[in-house]
Amino acid sequence: MLLAKGHSVLATHRTELDSANPETVSEFCRRVSAGTSILHSVPLVRNGHDWLPPTEALAPLLERAARIVYLSTTGVYGAQPYVDENTLPAPRAARETMRVDEERRVRELCPSTLILRPTAIYGPGRGVQVSLRNGTHRLWGDGTNYISRIYVDDLAALCAAALQSTLGGAYPVADEAPCEAREITQFCASALGIAAPAPLGRLPEDDTRSANRQVDGRAICRLLGVELQHRSYKTGIIAAIEAEKT
């Protein structure tokens, strides 16, 4: 999207930038000019049973940025069942607390920072329709827990707009159709013409898939002037399935 608008873009990947490896971090930092706008989407890094925050290792890069958009997660809201732009973080587990700390550290490194907290991201090659087709989808509990989602292209559009804005603060990102886990499982199974799996046992409370959260992400769309391509999973899932055919 940014390339199409004439911007110069440098992208990396976890196979090229290992935030736990000082050599790859230093090499990448040397390639990025001061005054660049940066989309920081490096999550917490698993190290055995622990999680490592990558932002401190990336500080030499981030502190020279003109603008940072940091992709966090709605996991920072903890057990709160309803979330909008006015909802404050309420982390329960250490992993969620570390994410809140990462948000704070990014803000300290760059005054012009916007935090985006996406819900579950789906699209071609990623989502319930893929795990159902592969036979790996699991419907936990009774499936009545609510999950919010965002189509990958809609998240990309918000990120592109955010990088070109001066808006600060932190906002949840979601489409306009939160639904129960069993509902989207049944919808995807029907779209694929296969049987929906039976519900399984309960997950640990700190597992992200056990969340029961309805997220209202309309505020950030309004503030950035972005109209979602898929306001509901009902069009997004069909679009993803069609894209996967090609």
Judge whether residue 51 has pLDDT over 80.
yes
| Cα separation, 101 vs 106, whole angstroms | 9
- Higher pLDDT: 75 or 210? It is 75
- Higher pLDDT: 150 or 198? It is 150
pLDDT band with cut points at 50, 70 and 90 for residue 199: confident
| Predicted pLDDT at 6 | 94
What confidence tens digit (pLDDT) does each residue in 208-240 have?
Answer: 666 799 999 999 999 999 999 999 999 999 999
| Percent of the chain surpassing pLDDT 70 | 97
CB-based contacts of 149: which residues, under 8 Å, 6+ apart? 119, 120, 121, 122, 127, 174, 175, 177, 178, 184, 233, 236
DSSP 161-226: HHHTS---EEEEE--S--EEHHHHHHHHHHHHTSPPPPPB-PPPTTSGGG---EE--HHHHHHHT-
Give me the domains of the chain, ranges plus CATH numbers: 3-244 (3.40.50.720)
Average pLDDT, the chain: 92
pLDDT band with cut points at 50, 70 and 90 for residue 138: confident
Residues 186, 194: contact at Cβ < 8 Å? no
Return the HEC string of 151-178: EHHHHHHHHHHHHCCCCCEEEEECCCCC
Token pair 């329960």 is found at: 92
| Predicted pLDDT at 181 | 92
Judge whether residue 90 has pLDDT over 70.
yes
Token pair 């992200």 is found at: 208
Q: Which amino acid is it at 217?
A: G
CA 24 to chain centre: 24
Q: Which amino acid is it at 122?
A: Y
| Predicted pLDDT at 29 | 86
Cβ density class 60-81: b for 16+ within 10 Å, e for less: ebbebbebbbbbbbbbbbbebe
What confidence tens digit (pLDDT) does each residue in 170-183 have?
Answer: 999 999 999 999 99
